[in-house]
Amino acid sequence: MDVRIGIIQTAKELDIEVGSEVARDSLLAEIEAALATGDGVLWLTDKRGRRVGVPTAKVAYVEVGAGDDRRVGFGAP
């Protein structure tokens, strides 16, 4: 599953690919809880086990999508 985070005052985005074992609903609940405080850090773990922390005060938007739909090559629609 892909998570894209926009940061305030920068044009770049953070793209994090979360492992498939993480449930989408629990991930959304975790993100909402972190952003509700407004002064904490949103911590996410990617599929390789690396932890990424973003200060919640600097988050412009969060986009959660399914990363399993991408197909490349002759099988792509």
pLDDT score recorded for residue 65 = 84
Question: What is 23-76 written as a DSSP string?
Answer: -HHHHHHHHHHHHHHSSSEEEEE-TTS-EEEEEGGGEEEEEEE-GGG---STT-
**pLDDT at 77 exceeding the cut of 60:** no
Between residues 8 and 37, which one has the greater pLDDT? 8
Q: Is 39 left (phi over 0), alpha (psi -120 to 50) or beta?
A: alpha
pLDDT score recorded for residue 15 = 92
- Reported as a single tens digit per residue, the pLDDT across 24-40 is 889 999 999 999 987 88
Q: Is 5 left (phi over 0), alpha (psi -120 to 50) or beta?
A: beta
- Tell me which amino acid residue 21 is: E
Domains detected in the chain: 2-66 (2.30.30)
- Reported as a single tens digit per residue, the pLDDT across 15-71 is 999 888 888 889 999 999 999 987 889 999 999 999 999 999 999 999 998 655 566
